[in-house]
Structure 1
Amino acid sequence: MPEEPSSSSSCKWIYAFAAILILLIVSTAVFAVAFLNLQTQLETMETSITGQNIEIEDLRNRIEILDAVNQTGLMPWSTIYNQLKDSVVLVQTNLGLGSGFVHDTNGHIITNHHVIEDADAIQVTFLDGNITSANVIGTDIYSDLAVIKVDPEVTALHPVVLGSSSELIVGEPVAAMGNPFGLSDTLTVGIVSSVERTLDAAGGYVIIDVIQIDAAVNPGNSGGPLVNLKGQVVGVNTAIQSETGTFTGIGFAIPSDTVKREIGDLIENGDYRHPWLGVSALDVDLSIADAMGLEKPQGVLIVDVTEGSPADHAGIRGTDQNVTLDGQIIPIGGDVITGIDGLPARRMADLVVHMERNTSPGDSVVFDIIRDGEKRSVEVTLGERPPPS
């Protein structure tokens, strides 16, 4: 009869199986814990690497910016803002508010004439919170510029750097800084829309050689700096063209070259003397050219000559008759200026911008003119532009 396995042997196998099963369970648990730990460490490493990659990318971007600044001299707007923010001030009077910027460490601040015009008291607020009174040093209504002065000990003064506005090109990025609607410490960005504009001022006179911009300019921006990508001031924000009184895409600034030209006289003498010819004129268009038999619709037709003016003394003639073309009354018969000092004058702006930039009262200029169909030259000694009437 075969021998049956003993109960003790069966128990041994059961214990051995249980032990192996427990060992497997423990091993699996240990492996699972180890796997989870490794996975956690891997995720931590991936997060760390991601963070380091972000830092590396940020550093790379900063290096690219610094490299661009080094190669081109151009800076990001945030850098320019930080460079100039302490130079821009809030100018408040009993009549309103505007902006201004520090010209030198003696306390001279540049702003617009219309910001401080007829003011009984002027208060200047700096970005650091310091507030002080200011006195008017000089004004020029024809360029809408004014220089006021504060106590240079009231706070640390940070003069701006004046750039060359004559180097501005249409499409170039610019930013307007100031205090629109009293919102201090504001920067808006746009481009140069045009140059050498003339601006009709509220007082019935014309401001010559103005920069047109599309950077947002609103009431309170007047007198603040217009800056380029080199951090240089290239203009003084002065006006907008709008039917609502708020910005609609067309703003104007007085060129920095005008500031450079006038600042010495404004500080030393309190005013600035502008050259003056003493005529009213029209740009020659097709109708005028046809009516006068001109070769090209270019030049400046002298309509009227002010009695006793430099133009009058030089014998420049205004129109002496009118003709009607297509229902329009067109003045003809006056001298047509086609050049000044050897440079072409295609429109009135060419004349007045050249005189403003390059001449002073008492200087002589030579005009190329067409009179009665003949070309000739006339020399004129310029006078001083009289105050607005």
Structure 2
Amino acid sequence: MNGRETIQLGVIGALCVLLLIGVFTNFGRVPASLAQDIDLAEKSNEVQDIQTSEPNNIANSEVLSLSSLFKRTENSVVQITSKVSETNSNIIINGNPLERQSTKLGSGFVYSDSGLIITNNHVIKDAKTVDVTFVDGNTYSANVTGTDPYNDIAVLQIIDDFSEESLIPLALDDSSKIEVGDPVAAIGNPFGLSGTMTSGIVSQIGRLLPNQEEGFSIPNVIQTDAAINPGNSGGPLLNLEGRVIGINTAIQSNTGEFSGVGFAVPSNTVKKIVPVLIEKGKYDHPWLGMAGTSLTPDIIKKLDLPKNYKGVLVTTVVKDSPADEAGLLEATFNINREIKNGDIIISIDGNKINSIAELILYLSENKAVGDDVSLEVNRNGNIIQLNTVLKARPSN
């Protein structure tokens, strides 16, 4: 994980960070402080899990010491090395921009004894083949089987003869059962230092992690204080049973190095996405096509709403999106960019919505492309029902 891949979340205060759902990356004309992506809505297709051996042979109730945990799992964690071509348009040679090879280092872990490896998408982005190195130093070539840029997940397939290796898949645990304060460990290759283990706790759950490269947010992310640094990306976040509860993905930092706040994509997301990537090479995300923000005291006051009113103010509606077809209206502003009015989503499919994070999480866990959604909306004090059908998310 390099500086460009570092997520600097800044101060999450009264208003959410704008992440427009749609094909736009310049966020239109809505202030960045007013919106969050609400498009992430995913539901797995029924695909058979391809893990074929009993992962790690660790009993669910067996709590391990950190040293025992490392010994049980170190052979299942790998270093990922990818080479990509970069073009420097500022340097012209014989009329052509200078091209050069750059190397990215990350981590990953064994998903199946057939040679499937899980890592972050940003670790292997733009690469077709990568090197996978085990803790014993053996290196094998691998193809990219499938990627989900929006959840930062990728699946690799080792293509060399790896019969010398005894591949032991790591089991994916139920991330919905973790609690704040649970002890965890991260294993990976920070700064290329292979087989490095750090430990900490689950600092918080259910975080909304902006994916700056893709313009969408990853929902339900795990926050941890286990040290994560460049090179840890794609490695496992483990509980003390040696089971994966997340993929280490990002940090919040002003320096590009760990400062006590790391983030991991939850294992339940991995369980849902990876089988589809193995079968199809990609994951089609449902798309609502709007951006919004949780209501704050300032917004509530400006819109003359009851104190502590809950919902999501619609700040942007993408043209011809499901949100547009439903008839949602985006917020309007005065000359000072202060909110004048706008639709407020207060429930979806009969489920009350208190915040933008809740809306994203509901869509992520309960909806798929082609699903119907029913929105209850406060429009200028009148409660109305709007219906639409989720489409596939357009490519960037």
| TM-score where L is the length of structure 1 | 0.77
Once structures 1 and 2 are overlaid, which stretch shifts more, 252-261 or 203-212? 203-212
Cα separation, 2, equivalents of 1:332 and 1:279: 18
Residue 324 of structure 2 corresponds to: 312
SS class of match (2:145)? strand
User: What does residue 189 of structure 1 align with?
Assistant: 199
- SS of equivalent residue, structure 2 residue 338: strand
TM-score normalised by the chain length of structure 2: 0.76
**1:91 is matched with which residue: 54, 70, 80?**
80
Query: Which residue does 2:48 correspond to in 1?
Result: none
Match of 1:299 among 301, 311, 320: 311
Q: Which residue of 2 aligns with 1:133?
A: 141
Q: Secondary structure at the match of 1:96?
A: strand
SS at match of 1:246: coil
User: Aligned AA for 1:377?
Assistant: Q
Q: Does 1:385 align with 2:374?
A: no
Q: CA, structure 1 residues 300+71, in 2 after alignment: closer, same or farther (shift >3 Å)?
A: closer
- Cα distance in 1 for residues equivalent to 2:374 and 2:163: 50
Change beyond 3 A, Cα 1:71–1:220: closer
Is structure 2 residue 357 aligned with structure 1 residue 346? no
**Code of the aligned partner of 1:316:** L
Return the alpha-carbon distance in structure 2 between the equivalents of residues 85 and 177 of structure 1. 8
Task: Give the letter for the 2:132 counterpart.
Answer: V
Structure 1 residue identity aligned to 2:296? D
Higher relative contact order (CA 8 A, sep 6+): 2
- Cα deviation, 1:166-212, whole Å, max 9, x if unaligned, reads 12222221111111111111111111122222222342513321211
Equivalence for 2:182: 172
- Structure 1 partner of 2:150: 142
- Secondary structure in structure 2 of the residue aligned to 1:86: helix
Q: Is 2:259 the counterpart of 1:248?
A: yes
1:208 aligned onto 2:223:
no
Counterpart residue number, 1:283: 294
Q: Which runs of 5+ in 1 are unaligned?
A: 1-68
CA–CA separation in structure 2 for the residues paired with 1:304 and 1:70: 49
Local SS of the residue matching 1:354: helix
1:131 to 1:70, Cα distance in 2 relative to 1, 3 A: closer
* 2:152 aligned with 1:163: no
Q: Does 1:218 align with 2:226?
A: no
Query: Using the alignment, how far apart are the partners of 1:308 and 1:172 within structure 2?
Result: 44
Number of residues paired by the alignment?
316
Work out whether residues 348 and 375 of structure 2, in 8 Å CA contact, stay in contact via their aligned partners in 1.
Answer: yes
Give per-residue Cα distances to partners, 1:310-350, cap 9 Å, x unaligned: 001111111134386xxxx4324211111222322111111
Q: What is the letter of the counterpart of residue 67 of structure 2? A: S
One-letter amino acid matched to 2:156: I
Change (3 A) 1:334 1:269: same
**Which residue of 1 is the match for residue 131 of structure 2?**
123
1:106 maps to 2:114:
yes
Kept in 1, the 8 Å contact 2:229–2:258? The answer is yes
Quote the Cα distance in structure 1 between the aligned partners of 2:82 and 2:60: 44
The structure having more radius of gyration, on CA atoms, is 1
Structure 1 residues 70 and 142, CA, compared in 2 at 3 Å: closer, same or farther?
closer
Q: Distance in 2 between matches of 1:70 and 1:165?
A: 17
Secondary structure in structure 2 of the residue aligned to 1:103: strand
- The Cα of 1:73 is off from its aligned counterpart by 3.8
Question: Where does structure 2 lack aligned partners over 5 or more consecutive residues?
Answer: 1-57, 84-102
Q: Which residue of 1 aligns with 2:66?
A: 77
CA distance in 1, matches of 2:387, 2:65: 49
Structure 2 counterpart of 1:212, which letter? Q
Asked if the contact 1:177–1:225 (Cα under 8 Å) also holds between the matched residues in 2, the reply is yes
> 2:74 and 2:60 mapped to 1: Cα distance?
25
Give me the whole-angstrom Cα distance separating, in 1, the residues matched to 2:186 and 2:60: 25
Post-superposition CA distance 1:105-146 (Å, at most 9, x none): 111100000101122541111122221101000001100110
8 A Cα contact 1:338 1:346, kept in partner: yes
Q: Is the 1:132–1:154 Cα contact (8 Å) retained in structure 2?
A: no
Instruction: Tell me the distance in 1 between the aligned counterparts of 2:339 and 2:394.
Output: 26
Task: Indicate the SS of the match to 1:318.
Answer: coil
Is residue 333 of structure 1 aligned with residue 315 of structure 2?
no
Deviations 1:217-245 (A, max 9, x none): 00010000001122210100011111111
Kindly indicate whether the alpha-carbon contact (under 8 Å) linking 1:198 and 1:206 is maintained by their aligned counterparts in 2.
no
Q: Which has the higher strand share?
A: 2
